Chain A
């Protein structure tokens, strides 16, 4: 395949950045999107130019490191697929592909296509855990968990923290991510005792990070590579409002 790539280049967080165009030929339809970028980078490097920086790690859709706005859609147009699992056969020969970093004030661009998603880490640190004493692993059947609850918790737990929800949302809202994390822990008995404190801490940290807020466009759900449902956002809203009615304030 022959492609025209319109790629965002930016030296560092302060640089204004610009688009750069590259022609790439002999791209295998079986290569993944990231392999296609590797091919571009090999060429750039052998020509003595600096390679395009992008985040990646597992390349099998489970770590959440990769994240690219491909032709105006987070992770590209294929539903429930991370950028690393997107294959070039999804594109047509001769196509121009526009590649941009996630755009959010809370995800500053570090370089080219790589953004700083530590805002998500701080949301998790504020309450995305269950407080238990560590030691040897407890007996698995000690705490009975109803099947529907464990299924629901597993659904929410598939969130890989990639940030596509924020990237795709017209408001740059992080509610789908936060809802998945709050919901996953709150769904099981182990997470229940801290549920109110958790939702208040995490929602208020999300707010402090400067993310936008949900207007129910459902774009996040469509972009999410793991198909996290906006039902979790309804649950987040309900959980937060209830905890506030019960007088729960943020605590660290």
Chain B
């Protein structure tokens, strides 16, 4: 603490421009919002695709193959899939980077905390973003080893998505992990999908009232869509 010295104003040079953006919390938050939107787009289409399991083994296995062949012959086999994967990895890295950088800055902004603090209107979802995000990140690693590459799966067969899923979720513990993490994801989205409009400055009167319903609807839809699968398998609805 103590008196603060303000630095002289910056010269207009490209390096300084980049440095100002890199320091800027509003810019980092915009990165977080855009990458969050990309991840949300993925999560939504992933959830929709997964629901094909309810149409039977053939449909979902075919879907998996379709993703690998998509774009051929312009792209090589799995070309499209890898473009998507790289884009998502990039989005996830930037999202996590901005989350960590902003969190550290925000901690520094209040070196001494209050003895007593009574929040007024922040909600459970908003105050747990870091935790829900962190747990979802850990889960993504497990999930890839489990159902994409198979190392964390007891009996993995490449290409047979249907039986991989059935075997995986017959284990109640595994089914429970998936259900719990996807509920956490929906909390993350409940705040995030609303927050991203605010971060990007989208609050035109025509959309303002729709931001919260939009976030709540997709948080619930995504959660139900994902957890329907482990629940249906562990309870024997699909075999």
Name A residues whose Cβ lies closer than 8 Å to a Cβ of B: 6, 8, 13-14, 19, 69, 71-73, 77, 98, 100, 103-106, 108-109, 116, 119, 122, 168, 170-173, 203-205, 207-219, 221-223, 230-231, 233-241, 244, 247, 249-252
Having A108-B2, A217-B121, A235-B203, one finds 14 other A-B pairs with CB under 8 Å, namely A72-B118, A106-B4, A172-B110, A204-B20, A210-B108, A212-B109, A213-B28, A213-B102, A215-B106, A216-B191, A221-B121, A223-B120, A230-B198, A237-B201
| Interface of chain B residues 100 through 119 with chain A (CB within 8 A) | 102, 105-106, 108-119
Residues B6 and A204 in contact, CB atoms below 8 Å apart: no
A17: shortest Cβ distance to chain B, in Å? 9
A96: shortest Cβ distance to chain B, in Å? 10
Residues A250 and B126 in contact, CB atoms below 8 Å apart: no
Residues B4 and A237 in contact, CB atoms below 8 Å apart: no
B residues contacting the other copy or chain, number (CB 8 A) = 54
The answer to whether residues A215 and B6 also contact, given A19-B115, A104-B109, A244-B27 and a CB cut-off of 8 A, is: no
Residues A241 and B201 in contact, CB atoms below 8 Å apart: yes
**Which B-chain residue is minimally distant from A77 (CB atoms)?**
B118
Chain A contacts for B127, CB-based, 8 A: 170, 217
Residues B122 and A213 in contact, CB atoms below 8 Å apart: no
| Interface of chain B residues 119 through 155 with chain A (CB within 8 A) | 119-122, 126-127, 129
Chain B contacts for A221, CB-based, 8 A: 121
Chain B contacts for A207, CB-based, 8 A: 23-25
The 10 closest A-B pairs by CB, nearest first: A238-B201, A213-B25, A212-B109, A72-B118, A172-B109, A222-B120, A217-B122, A252-B9, A171-B106, A234-B203
Which of A77, A119, A168, A217 is close to B126, meaning CB atoms less than 8 Å apart? A217
The answer to whether residues A249 and B12 also contact, given A72-B118, A105-B109, A105-B111 and a CB cut-off of 8 A, is: yes
Which of A71, A105, A218 is close to B122, meaning CB atoms less than 8 Å apart? A218
A157: shortest Cβ distance to chain B, in Å? 19
The answer to whether residues A216 and B208 also contact, given A211-B109, A241-B26 and a CB cut-off of 8 A, is: no
Residues A240 and B114 in contact, CB atoms below 8 Å apart: no
CA distance A208 to B10 in the complex (A): 12
Asked if B46 is an interface residue, CB under 8 A from chain A, the answer is no
Name B residues whose Cβ lies closer than 8 Å to a Cβ of A: 1-4, 6-10, 12, 16-17, 20-21, 23-30, 102, 105-106, 108-122, 126-127, 129, 191, 194-195, 197-203, 208
Which of B9, B27, B29, B208 is close to A250, meaning CB atoms less than 8 Å apart? B9
CA distance A33 to B16 in the complex (A): 48
Chain B contacts for A6, CB-based, 8 A: 115
The answer to whether residues A105 and B108 also contact, given A204-B24, A215-B126 and a CB cut-off of 8 A, is: yes
Residues A234 and B116 in contact, CB atoms below 8 Å apart: no
Residues B109 and A171 in contact, CB atoms below 8 Å apart: yes
Chain B contacts for A8, CB-based, 8 A: 115
**Which B-chain residue is minimally distant from A211 (CB atoms)?**
B109
CA distance A244 to B16 in the complex (A): 12
CA distance A13 to B198 in the complex (A): 36
CA distance A234 to B24 in the complex (A): 15
Which of A173, A205, A234 is close to B106, meaning CB atoms less than 8 Å apart? A173
A234: shortest Cβ distance to chain B, in Å? 4
Residues B106 and A172 in contact, CB atoms below 8 Å apart: yes
**Which A-chain residue is minimally distant from B121 (CB atoms)?**
A222
Residues A168 and B120 in contact, CB atoms below 8 Å apart: yes
Residues A72 and B20 in contact, CB atoms below 8 Å apart: no
Residues A237 and B120 in contact, CB atoms below 8 Å apart: no
